[in-house]
Chain A
Amino acid sequence: MSHFFTAAVLSATVASGIALAAPLLLAALGETVGQRSGVLNLGVDGIMLLGAFGAYFTTLHTHSIGLGVLVAVAIGAVMGLVTAFLNVTVGADQGISGIGIYIAALGLSGALFERYVGTPLPITNSHGMFNAVNIPLLDRIPYLGTMFFQQNILVYLAFLLVPVLTYMLHHTTYGVSVHATGENPAAADTLGISVARVRYSAVLFGCLMAGLAGAALLVLDGIFQENLTQGAGFIAVALVYFGGWRPAGVMIGALLYGLTGAVILSWKTLGIIPVSVSDLAATAPAVIVLLALLFLVGRYRQPTALGRPYLRGG
């Protein structure tokens, strides 16, 4: 245990926890906006998988991870249109349509991977893999620099989006429209807000972010495999509830999840936890989030119209 409580190990653990939290945070922030407009999207995990595959395949062939990330976002947009069509235009049961999209995307990403890649090759620097971007000066702060200012660009983006989205959701006309649509779509409609348009845009944003989160996960792992996400998209959905539909709360949840995971990994590497119980220890993040939900939930109310399709005259 004494090996763990050294400044170097601790700061490395925090750094890896932040890196682990970033994909979850990206996906969960997107889902937050969607849910605040009243649409529950359970297909996040599937969209992340497709995004990750798109980014992987593009990067392997073009040697440009930047292009890979763009492809992931584009895939997210396409899936967003499908999701929005099902949930907004058709008015399908959102819990179930999300599961459908997840299963379909799980199958499609697996099939595409087997068909067009087969043997996975890691993405390396020769593919223009994102390197850590050191923030000048700040990265030289002892320990804090390692923790916060030597991450890759997607990690910075994820955490930058927290204040941006907080501002957008609470202080812009669009944010108020999203809020109104999620609370009382009929009232929003009478005020001349196009419920369909607001929900389409919110869902589309959520799915773009899910695609981006897939790319972030790929950057983190450096390689694609079948079911790469291992349920990360579902965890992201859970974090939205955990965070009480507030970007900052979602960030705290993602950090809690990421840091717990990083501590477990670090203890495993240091031999504090024997390898034989590492599977058991891997349940810790889920258990902690579950317990937190049990004691925290109820402090925030979910959007009133969450999960309810709105059809005019309906």
Chain B
Amino acid sequence: MGHSEAVSGPRAMLAGAFAGGWRAFFLRWLALPAAAIAALLIGALIILAMGANPLTGYHALITGGFVGSYALTSTAVKAVPLLLVGVGICIAFRANVLNIGGEGQIAMGGLASTATALALPSLPSILLIPLVLLAGAAGGAVWGAIPGLFKAYRNVNEILSTIMLNLVAIQLVNYLLSGPMIDRSESFAVVGRIPQTRLLSPTSWLPILIPGTQFHLGVVISVLVAIGAWVLLRRTGFGFRIRSVGLSTEASNYAGMPVKRTITMALTLSGAMCGLAGAMLVFGSISHRMVTDGTLTGFTGSDGFYGIVVALFAGLSPLWTILSAYLFAGLLVGGVSLGIALSVPYSQDLVTLIVGLVVCFVVALDAVRKRANLQAGPGAGAWRQLLAGVVPRLRAGPEPAAAAGHSPASTEPGPDAPAQAPRRSLTPAERSEEAPP
């Protein structure tokens, strides 16, 4: 890639005098905050153009999302589905599979878990809660396995199949919640029934950990899942195969890896994470029902798309995804305060806009970074050192690495690689370029 490009021309030579210093420092550490700030600045201009005061708005946004125990617990609760979806996206994108199907997988997870709770209302919490969460994961897993199988065995582009399956799942939710699963106790009189289930059994509710807030068990579970996913990706043979397939299917195939099965499993696992998020949306909600409003995002609240943003902002590292999920959750929660402070009805739209701009800037910076031959992201190196003593190394045996050792893709990624965006392929020449001369 453009290593030679980076050190040609007088200006680049001057930059070279800093020995990759400032430039590297900026791209490595400051680029993501810069992307976020750039997005917020454009957002501010748009707020200004609409005749409102961006300073008042942003002050309310930050206070409402991050300041005080109420804001922080609300943000933590909002972060649960974002984090789970984000982790699922990390797994899929690492295998170079673009899972756009988060929305549908969340919906199916919500449906499966809700159906379980409706069917077994008398089970005690200790059984019912694990059961509904597993059912959610299973529902999402099925909706992830379908595009996975399609891609692996029939070469159907996963972007298409997941988009179509999103539409199917959402309509299925609308149908079930306004028909077979609807709360029949509600009066039918004036406006018709809301498309929602009856109040789910209290033994299925996720227990509140901090009394007086919405801070429920799911917050802890989601963080544990993120750590588990990091261990899976970095410390197991399966995780290694996922990353290897993501870097090059040809080389992985040559190395004897089960490429098709790995792709299917990656999407299935990704779907399971999204399905779990769907279960959290139901059993960690205030209403403790599964509710929609008949629109495409009535149940999911677009979390399937926001999860992509969260994972991307975290450089596809499950651990950085924790931080990233909290940041974006704060933005979404604070968006409500922004709307109140500016007394505008379109605050959620503004937040959506800002999130979209963040994606555009991050993806652009990512491309610039790749061209500069720098490892993306602040790197998981620090995390790894921290966790090295805590997490037992779940070595899956040396065979994948050894097998891959004879292939062109014998690219056990470098120390900072976890925070790297998926790459299409990596040739030996490119590898050698990555080492500092």
Q: Which residues of A contact B (CB under 8 A)?
A: 42, 46, 82, 86, 90-93, 95-97, 99-108, 110-111, 113-115, 118, 226-227, 230-231, 234-235, 237-238, 241-242, 276-277, 279-280, 282-283, 286-287, 289-290, 293-294, 297-298, 302, 308-309, 311, 313-314
Contacts and interface: CB of A to CB of B under 8 A. Distances in A.
B3 to A, nearest CB: 10
Contacts of B98: 95-96
B322 to A, nearest CB: 20
B261 interface: no
B431 interface: no
B360 A101 contact: yes
Contact of A297 (B100, B154, B352, B354): B154
B13 interface: no
Contacts of B350: 107, 111
Interface string B301-343: 0000100110010000000000000000000000000000000
B172 interface: yes
A289 to B, nearest CB: 6
A279 B150 CA distance: 25
Given A283-B167, A283-B168, A313-B5, 13 more contacts: A92-B367, A100-B358, A100-B362, A106-B352, A107-B349, A107-B351, A108-B349, A241-B157, A242-B160, A286-B164, A290-B161, A309-B367, A311-B2
Interface residues on B, range: 35 or more
B32 interface: no
A276 B178 CA distance: 8
7 contacts: A82-B360, A93-B366, A99-B308, A100-B362, A102-B305, A107-B354, A277-B179
Interface of A is mostly: helix
B27 interface: no
Given A277-B179, A297-B154, A314 B367 contact: no
Interface in B139-153: 150
A231 B166 contact: yes
Contacts of B353: 103-104, 107-108, 111
Contacts of A313: 2, 4-5
B232 interface: no
Contacts of B160: 237-238, 241-242, 293
A103 B355 contact: yes
Contact of B356 (A91, A104, A282, A298): A104
Interface in B151-193: 154-157, 159-161, 163-168, 171-172, 174-175, 178-179
Nearest to B179: A276
Interface in B363-381: 363-364, 366-368, 371
B159 A96 contact: no
A90 B359 contact: no
B282 to A, nearest CB: 19
Contacts of B59: none
A82, A96, A235, A289 pick with most chain B CB within 10 angstroms: A96
Contact of A314 (B159, B295, B368, B371): B371
Contact of B367 (A90, A115, A241): A90
Contacts of B26: none
A42 B349 contact: no
A106 B163 CA distance: 16
A233 to B, nearest CB: 10
Nearest to A45: B163
B258 interface: no
A234 B160 CA distance: 8
Interface string B96-117: 0010100000000000000000
A97 B356 contact: no
B192 to A, nearest CB: 11
Contacts of B358: 100
Contact of B345 (A82, A97, A114): A114
Contacts of A298: 154-155
Given A97-B364, A111-B353, A289-B164, A294 B171 contact: no
B346 interface: yes
A104 B351 CA distance: 9
A26 B2 CA distance: 38
Max chain A CB contacts within 10 Å: which of B351, B362, B367? B367
Given A95-B159, A100-B360, A111-B50, A287 B168 contact: yes
B156 A86 contact: no
Nearest to A242: B160
Nearest to B1: A314
B352 A96 contact: no
Contacts of B46: 108, 111
A298 B151 CA distance: 11
B36 interface: no
Contact of B172 (A118, A235, A283): A283
A282 B164 CA distance: 12
Contacts of A82: 360
Interface string B273-284: 000000000000
A82 B168 CA distance: 31
Interface centre among A99, A230, A297 (most CB of B within 10 A): A99
Contacts of B346: 110-111, 113-115
Contacts of B4: 313
B290 interface: no
B421 interface: yes
Given A104-B357, A283-B168, A42 B156 contact: no
B161 A96 contact: no
Nearest to B370: A91
A93 B367 contact: yes
A287 B353 CA distance: 31
Contacts of A280: 171-172, 175
Given A238-B163, A293-B156, A99 B359 contact: yes
Nearest to A234: B163
Contacts of A113: 346
A242 B2 CA distance: 36
Contact of A90 (B175, B309, B364): B364
B2 A227 contact: no
A114 B349 contact: yes
B366 A92 contact: yes
B344 interface: yes
B81 to A, nearest CB: 16
Nearest to A277: B175
A294 B358 CA distance: 35
A242 B161 CA distance: 11
B296 interface: yes
Contacts of B154: 294, 297-298
B423 to A, nearest CB: 10
B424 interface: yes
B114 to A, nearest CB: 17
B208 to A, nearest CB: 32
